[in-house]
Structure formats: structure tokens, C-alpha cells
Amino acid sequence: MSESIVLCITGASGAIYGYRLLEVLDRLGFHMDLIVSSSGWLVLREELGKTKEDIKRDFPSANLLNEKDLLSPVASGSRLVKYRGVLVAPCSMSTLACVAHGINQNLIHRVCEVALKERVPLVLLIREAPYSSVHLKNMLEVAQAGGIILPASPGFYHKPQSLQELVDFVVGKVLDALRIEHNLYRRWRD
């Protein structure tokens, strides 16, 4: 039986990170419950030209959940504790604010809240710049509650030659946060 991950894609710019995580986690054999917010679908279409039908076709093994389905099994701690982690990539500042303050407007917010209370690893791939003091306070709230705040900030020590290598560096850091083995980027001094 494969390990499970919840992957959430919100409406922040950077849909390429969520899409690349889908590709890599699928290749690694993870069971994925995928939740895409309504704004996330808009950004997937605008930035990557991807629709819901494309995602279903490209990732038939991903279990696509409706963001409004608060009765989904992953909304329960008794189910989520069996998961390797919850990833929000990209994570909008609106989603960050809801997670930081325990506001459940959709299944993404609920899953993040449950992950925090059940100590299931939660990684928020923050995609915004610059940060306001409100953003920073919200990041601190989530970090103090046990979440991992991971800005979409690529490194350059591996001398990237393409956009794909920059994306893979950030995606690799997300996987590192969950201790998932990969070879998406060359590590320091390798």
C-alpha cells in the first residue's frame, strides 16, 4: 500500500509548483488526494493552460476532491493521521490567513487545521512578495502551531540553467520538508 499525501493548490501565482508536485509524487507512487480551490483552477488555466479535465487525464490516480466537501474523509483527524503530510502549493496569503486563525471556509482550510491539531506535517509553499507585517504575523502563527512555512525561493548554488531547474529546486525543498527522497536538484557540495 502506498503512502498518502493531500496536495492543495490555491489561487496564488505559481501553479507550476503544484503541477510539478503532482508529476513527481505520481512518479514516486504516492496516493494523492488533490484539492484545488476555485481560484486555483483559474491560476492553473491562466499560467499553465491546464483545466480540470487535463488534470483528471494527466493524473488518473489522483483523487480529486471538491473544495466545498467538508464531509470528505480527509476532513477528519482519524483519517488524516494516516497521511505522510499535507502540502499547499502554492499557498495564497488568503489561505495562509485562514490557516493561521483557524477559519474554515473550505476543505483546504479544514485539512490544514486538522493537520496542525493532529501533528500531521503541514507545508505551506508561500508565493507572494513582498510580505506585509500581516503576512509575517500569519506565517509566525502557523509556524508556532507546527506548520512549515516554505517560501518559493529557489537557490542558485546548483547553477540552474532553466526555469525547470528553478522549479525543481523549490519542489525538492517541499519534498525535503516531508523527508521524501528525490533527485530534483544537486545538493550543496554534491
Mean pLDDT in each 10-residue stretch from start to end of the chain (190 residues)? 91 97 96 98 98 96 96 96 98 98 96 98 95 97 98 92 95 96 85
Q: Is residue 189 included in any domain, yes or no?
A: no
**Does residue 124 form part of some domain?**
yes
Global pTM?
0.95
Cα distances (Å, whole numbers) of residue 19 to 7, 114, 142, 184: 10, 24, 24, 15
**Number of structural domains found in the chain:** 1
Contacts with 190 (C-beta within 8 Å, 6 or more apart), sequence order = none
Q: Residue 75 has what pLDDT?
A: 96
Q: Which structural domain range is residue 60 located in?
A: 4-177
The answer to whether the CB of 116 falls within 8 A of the CB of 146 is yes
90 found inside a domain:
yes
185 inside domain: no
Beta strand 148-151 with 4-9: parallel, antiparallel or unpaired? Answer: unpaired
What is the predicted pLDDT for the residue at 141?
Answer: 98
**64 occurs within a structural domain:** yes
Residue 95 sits in a domain whose CATH number is 3.40.50.1950
Report pLDDT for 1: 52
pLDDT at 158: 86
